[in-house]
């Protein structure tokens, strides 16, 4: 029996690692010939700390130079605006002037949720990774690290030195158009994965960020909505994910969101930006607004916003004037500037200047495929229809729009340019040229593999009937600035699946989506794969799963409900046209939201809602199937300053695989919590018949609740039930422990 420890980095240990890593970015030796320059510019000495270097530069700056560092200089294509200095940018999301005379470089930013956007503008290729929600389905911190490292390398190769990825908002509302950009419904899972992504992204000497801080849980009316939520619920759900991600990844920037929270817009919300982020969490980086998310000068500055993007409406001349008139203290401006400078030094963009290079296309494609294979979730597999047996299956029907050409991706600012194409329109449906038809045919030489788009129902049903197996590729497109009206498959695809399954019960459905989907046909089909937005090599990954060359190990990072009626907010809050456009302006000149969403479910997000309300689900959080089976035994809980949970996992099947072993805990009744919460996991690789002992260390914060009175985390004394198993609803091992 082998012993294995959890790969997940806890808050305390990860904080030490990430802080040390951040400091090491700026370390190194001066290049030959730079010693004399360093005498004139002592801040260029990489042996000094980022804080020391930033303070030295700050003392050299003029007021105009300080103002230049706290706002953007425009973004190509920004609606209704022409920026005369845009030619200095890199064709991305915008840029911030440096201070050339002092050796401070410009910050060149690019959207990079799952690959570099607008790469075509500067003649560079980008790898499309599986979407972040797919990455979350891998439950693998190391895969998250590889994800971030690839994006960091390609950013630098394309001439950028700041990423605008790092989406972390937990899935409170699955119809949110940006669910695919985020990492699921649990704060521990989301925070751990985004932290590891950011840590390795910044390891490539780029400024990393985490976003959208906070409660950006709907896109329709995002500029006008006020999210009303209790402080404890806010801290234990949305903010916990950010806190974990920041402590593990130590990002150089935090992006505040468009929406308001409890009456104040995020980018001018003192509780969020100063009281929590900068004081309680001791965040040393800078806060950057979402694009056009700044609403004021004096209020935003006092609240803790450090940098306005993508222009200078509030942080250009108005901020300079406010400083000169004493409305914004010089010390307050200096804090904004110091944070930007510190982040430039800490991330390494000063010591490792931008230098364009050739993107490693083959390496990127290989990484994308491997992550996709870990992310695909097998949801149904009746009578062992999968993996496909080449000795028994002689004919395969590939059915679905574009299944002969490509696989769909998510829209908005996350959209990665498809190879050989100009940057797509804002809400264009983009299909990456990764063909399921070709990938399946390549895996099945000698077999009959035929295609039908589904446009002709009779012809499609006929092809399905004459084939041994029918594989139906369906999609659900989603995008920034747009919420889904429901979780159904669009374009009459449910009816198409029904028709195919009626013609051939050996029907396998492959779902390309960015969130949960409803499945009225689930009882009629034999197999279901959730493949998310699968990236540049998605088709190859799917084919490898279908034929068993890869044993599926992905698990759901979010609950799939039976219908919208089971959601905490059954009717989606879509504002009326009169609410949209611009936020209302008060007599003071400040903007204010025009409608509210009340998150009365509070702590009950995702699986915690379904547990507490005793609602049946289509597929639970953490669910999966594999081509093997696993057994759990010998649970032991050792309480202490760091509680540890130890148990054994055995592969009881006939093929090698990887099991995501999960640990949940039920807090004492006095805590007033949902029935259980995820507190740790480990992805365990096992050969057929092999057993491993797994030990998972539980962070004290994960066993605590947020006390509003003292503004702190506290443990409630009493009986804690620790549970281990394969999903949130498959927990065969339970042990109760009294904790003080």
Between 29 and 184, where is the model more confident?
Answer: 184
Neighbours of 630 (CB within 10 A): 21
Residue 567: its pLDDT value, please? 97
Give the chain's largest Cα–Cα span: 81
Backbone angles phi, psi at 587, to 5 degrees: -60, -25
Q: What percent of the chain has pLDDT over 90?
A: 86
Q: Which of 730, 514, 522, 513 is nearest to 622 (CA)?
A: 730
Region of 241 please: left (phi>0), alpha (psi -120 to 50) or beta: alpha
Residue 2 has pLDDT above 50, yes or no: no
Q: Phi and psi of 625, rounded to 5°?
A: -130, 160
Structure tokens at 439: 């990938």
- pLDDT for 625 beyond 80: yes
Signed CA dihedral, 161, 164, 165, 166: sign only: positive
Confidence label for 164 from pLDDT (cuts 50, 70 and 90): very high
User: CA-to-CA distance for 485 and 571, rounded, in angstroms?
Assistant: 9
Asked whether residue 13 carries a pLDDT value surpassing 80, the answer given is no
- What is the pLDDT, as a whole number, of residue 118? 82
pLDDT in tens, 62-74: 999 999 999 999 9
Measured CA to CA, the distance from residue 131 to residue 242 in angstroms comes to 19
CA-derived radius of gyration, the chain: 26
CA distance 129 to 416: 9
- Is-same-fold flag (8-347; 362-546)? no
Cβ count within 10 A of residue 52: 14
**Lowest-pLDDT range, 16-20, 404-408, 641-645?**
16-20
Residue of 166, 163, 242, 165 lying closest to 204 (CA atoms) = 163
How much is the pLDDT for 84? 86
The tokens for 220 are 């329709």
- The residues that are catalytic are 290
**Residues 673/232, Cβ–Cβ less than 8 Å:** no
- Alpha-carbon torsion (284, 285, 290, 293), positive or negative: positive
Q: Does 88 have pLDDT greater than 60?
A: yes
pLDDT tens for each residue of 118-142: 876 677 889 999 999 999 999 999 9
Domain ranges (residues) in the chain: 8-347, 362-546, 630-739
CATH of domain 630-739: 2.60.40.10
Q: Which residue is associated with the tokens 């500055």?
A: 301
Write out the two tokens for 434: 């990764």
Place of tokens 């200096």: 334
* 196, burial (CB in 10 Å: exposed 0-12, middle 13-18, buried 19+): buried
Q: What is the mean pLDDT of the chain?
A: 92
Q: Which two tokens stand for residue 524?
A: 């009629």
Nearest of 350, 426, 411 to residue 113 by alpha carbon: 411
pLDDT interval class at 273 (50, 70, 90): very high
Q: What is the pLDDT of residue 418?
A: 84
Please give the pLDDT value at position 32: 42
DSSP 116-160: -TTGGGGT-----PPPHHHHHHTT-HHHHHHHHHHHHHHHHHTT-
Q: Give 270's pLDDT tier (boundaries 50, 70, 90).
A: very high
pLDDT of residue 20: 34
Q: Encode pLDDT of 604-615 as tens digits.
A: 999 999 999 999
Query: Are the CB atoms for 310 and 291 separated by under 8 Å?
Result: yes
**Is there a cis peptide before residue 214, judged by omega within 30 degrees of 0?**
yes
First to last CA, the chain: 33
- Identify any residues that bridge with 680 across adjacent strands, giving them in sequence order: 663
Give me the half-sphere count of Cα atoms (radius 13 Å) on the Cβ side of residue 431: 18
Q: Which residues contact 516 (CB under 8 A, 6 or more apart)?
A: 174, 487, 558, 559, 560, 561, 618
Give the pLDDT of residue 27: 33
pLDDT at 123: 75
Do 392 and 383 touch, CB atoms closer than 8 A? no
Mean pLDDT of 251-260: 98
Please tell me the predicted confidence (pLDDT) of residue 24.
34
pLDDT score recorded for residue 588: 54
The predicted structure's pLDDT at residue 641: 86
Residue 586 has pLDDT above 60, yes or no: no
pLDDT band for position 28 (cuts 50, 70, 90):
very low
pLDDT tens across 304-344, in order?
999 999 999 999 999 999 999 999 999 999 999 999 999 99
Q: Which residues of 467-505 are buried (b: 16+ CB within 10 A; e: fewer)?
A: bbbbbbbbbbbbbbbbbbeebebeeebbebbebbbebbe
Nearest to residue 609, comparing CAs of 172, 144, 149, 206? Answer: 172
CATH 3.30.1360.120 fits 362-546, yes or no: no
Beta-carbon count within 10 A of 448 CB = 14
Q: Which CATH architecture has domain 8-347?
A: Alpha-Beta Barrel (3.20)
Q: What span, in angstroms and rounded, lies between the C-alpha atoms of 566 and 517?
A: 13
Q: 207 and 306 in contact (C-beta within 8 Å)?
A: no
Residue 574 has what pLDDT?
59
Q: Which residues of 355-393 are buried (b: 16+ CB within 10 A; e: fewer)?
A: eeeebbeeebbebbbbbbbbbbbbbbbeeebbbbeeeeb
State pLDDT tens for residues 89-106: 999 999 999 999 999 999
pLDDT of residue 82: 85
DSSP-derived secondary structure letter, 564: G
**Tokens 């400024």 correspond to what residue?**
207
């Amino acid at each position: 029996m082998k012993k294995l420890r959890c790969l997940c980095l806890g808050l305390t240990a990860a904080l030490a690692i990430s802080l040390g890593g951040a400091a090491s970015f700026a370390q190194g030796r001066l290049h030959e010939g730079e010693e004399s320059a360093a005498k004139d510019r002592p801040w260029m000495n990489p042996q000094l700390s980022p804080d020391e270097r930033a303070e030295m530069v700050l003392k050299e700056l003029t007021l105009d130079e300080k103002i230049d560092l706290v706002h953007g200089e425009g973004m190509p294509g920004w609606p209704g605006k022409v920026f005369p200095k845009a030619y200095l940018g890199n064709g991305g999301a915008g840029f911030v002037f440096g201070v050339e005379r002092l050796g401070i470089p410009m910050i060149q930013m690019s959207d990079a949720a799952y690959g570099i956007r607008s790469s075509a503008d500067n003649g560079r290729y980008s790898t499309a990774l599986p979407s972040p929600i797919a990455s979350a389905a891998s439950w693998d911190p190391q895969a998250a690290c590889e994800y971030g490292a690839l994006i960091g390398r390609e950013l630098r190769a394309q001439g950028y030195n700041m990423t605008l990825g790092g989406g972390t908002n937990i899935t409170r509302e699955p119809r949110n158009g940006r669910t695919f950009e985020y990492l699921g419904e649990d704060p521990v899972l989301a925070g751990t994965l985004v932290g590891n992504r950011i840590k390795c992204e910044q390891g490539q000497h780029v400024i990393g960020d985490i976003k959208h801080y906070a409660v950006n849980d709907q896109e329709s009316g995002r500029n006008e909505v006020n999210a009303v939520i209790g402080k404890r619920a806010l801290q234990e759900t949305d903010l916990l994910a950010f806190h974990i991600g920041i402590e593990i990844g130590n990002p150089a920037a935090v992006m505040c969101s468009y929406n308001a929270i409890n009456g104040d817009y995020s980018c001018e919300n003192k509780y969020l930006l100063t009281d929590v982020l900068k004081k309680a969490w001791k965040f040393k980086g800078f806060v950057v607004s979402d694009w056009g998310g700044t609403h004021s000068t004096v209020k935003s500055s006092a609240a803790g916003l450090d940098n306005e993007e993508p222009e200078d409406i509030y942080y250009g001349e108005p901020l300079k004037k406010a400083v000169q008139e004493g409305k914004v203290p010089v010390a307050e401006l200096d804090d904004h500037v110091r944070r930007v400078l510190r982040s430039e030094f800490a991330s390494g963009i000063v010591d490792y200047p931008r230098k364009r290079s050739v993107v490693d296309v083959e390496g990127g494609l290989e990484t994308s495929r491997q992550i996709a294979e870990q992310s695909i979730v097998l949801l149904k597999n009746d009578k062992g229809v999968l993996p496909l047996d080449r000795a028994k299956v002689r004919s395969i029907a590939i059915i679905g729009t574009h299944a002969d050409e490509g696989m769909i991706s998510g829209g908005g600012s996350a959209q990665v340019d498809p190879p050989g194409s100009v940057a797509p329109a804002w809400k264009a449906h983009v299909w990456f040229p990764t063909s399921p038809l070709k990938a399946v045919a390549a895996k099945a030489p000698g077999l009959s593999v035929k295609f039908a788009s589904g446009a002709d129902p009779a012809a499609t049903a006929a092809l399905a009937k004459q084939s041994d197996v029918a594989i139906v590729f369906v999609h659900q497109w989603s995008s920034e600035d747009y919420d889904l009206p429901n979780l159904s498959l669009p374009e009459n695809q449910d009816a198409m699946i029904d028709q195919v399954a009626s013609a051939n019960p050996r029907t396998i459905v492959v779902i390309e989506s960015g969130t949960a989907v409803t499945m009225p046909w689930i009882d009629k089909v034999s197999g279901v794969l959730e493949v998310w937005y699968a990236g540049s090599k998605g088709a190859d990954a799917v084919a490898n799963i279908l034929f068993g060359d890869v044993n599926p190990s992905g698990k759901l990072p979010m609950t799939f409900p039976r219908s919208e009626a089971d959601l905490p907010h059954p009717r989606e809050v879509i504002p009326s046209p009169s609410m949209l456009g611009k936020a209302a302006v008060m007599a003071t000149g400040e903007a204010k939201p025009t409608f509210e969403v009340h998150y009365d479910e509070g702590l009950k997000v995702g699986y915690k809602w379904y547990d507490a309300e005793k609602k049946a689900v289509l597929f639970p959080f953490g669910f999966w199937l594999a081509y093997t089976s696993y057994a759990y035994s010998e649970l032991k809980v050792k309480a202490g300053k760091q509680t540890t949970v130890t148990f054994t996992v055995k592969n009881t099947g006939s093929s090698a695989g990887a099991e995501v072993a999960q640990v949940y805990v039920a807090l004492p009744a006095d805590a007033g919590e949902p029935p259980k919460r995820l507190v740790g996991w480990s992805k365990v690789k096992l050969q057929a018949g092999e057993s491993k002992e797994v030990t998972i260390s539980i962070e004290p914060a994960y066993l605590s609740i947020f006390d509003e009175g003292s503004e702190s985390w506290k443990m409630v004394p009493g009986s804690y039930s620790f549970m281990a198993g394969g999903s949130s609803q498959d927990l065969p091992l339970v042990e109760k422990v009294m904790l003080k």
